[in-house]
């Protein structure tokens, strides 16, 4: 398993400690935010491999935060956890996996590993130009452009 960076968002400090303890014990790097606005600020400055969030939070609920996460960082897997099954069934649009709080949190590392592996496979491959070719193109352009614009 690779070292994944996970952001956990929940207004309940006990749940944040639970997520952090569980995920760090399985090798993840965990950051926490106790509200959606702190989470958005964090995501604006740093990247993560996945987000675990609560549905019911003051100010912005988990479904709205999931939408903002996907707008800011498309392809980032989002796992939403809720105490009410009506929040998770059907799964909100921008959420990759929705769990009820009664679900064993021990399955969370496996869920995150599966979602992040899927996200990595779906990322487009970027083709890079070798540095020498790029420099040759720039040099050629610098030589030709003044002669063309005379």
pTM of the model: 0.74
Exposed/middle/buried for 125, CB within 10 Å: 0-12, 13-18, 19+? exposed
Sheet holding 50-54, edge to edge: 29-33, 5-9, 50-54, 78-82, 97-100
Is 3.20.20.150 the CATH number for 5-148?
no
> What is the domain partition of the chain in residue ranges?
5-148
Bridge-partner residues for 88, per DSSP?
A: none
- pLDDT tens series, the chain, 150 aa: 458 899 999 999 999 999 999 999 999 999 999 999 999 999 989 889 999 999 889 889 888 999 999 998 888 999 998 866 555 555 667 898 888 877 777 788 888 888 888 766 665 544 555 656 666 666 666 766 676 666
C-alpha to C-alpha distance for 114 and 112, rounded to whole angstroms:
5
Q: Which pLDDT tens digit goes with each residue over 74-103?
A: 889 999 988 665 555 556 678 988 888 777
């Amino acid at each position: 398993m690779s070292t994944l960076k996970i952001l956990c968002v929940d207004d309940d400090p006990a749940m944040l400690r639970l997520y952090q303890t569980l995920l760090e014990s399985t090798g993840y790097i965990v950051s926490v935010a106790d509200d959606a606005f702190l989470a958005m600020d964090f995501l604006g400055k740093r990247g993560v491999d996945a987000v675990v969030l609560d549905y019911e939070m003051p100010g912005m609920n988990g479904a709205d935060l999931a939408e903002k996460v996907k707008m800011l960082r498309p392809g980032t897997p989002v796992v939403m956890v809720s105490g009410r099954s009506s929040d998770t069934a059907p799964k909100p649009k921008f959420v990759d996996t929705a769990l009820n709080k009664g679900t064993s949190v021990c399955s969370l590392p496996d869920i995150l590993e599966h979602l992040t592996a899927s996200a990595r496979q779906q990322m487009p491959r970027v083709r890079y130009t070798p540095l020498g070719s790029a420099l040759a193109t720039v040099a050629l352009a610098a030589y030709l452009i003044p002669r063309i614009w005379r």
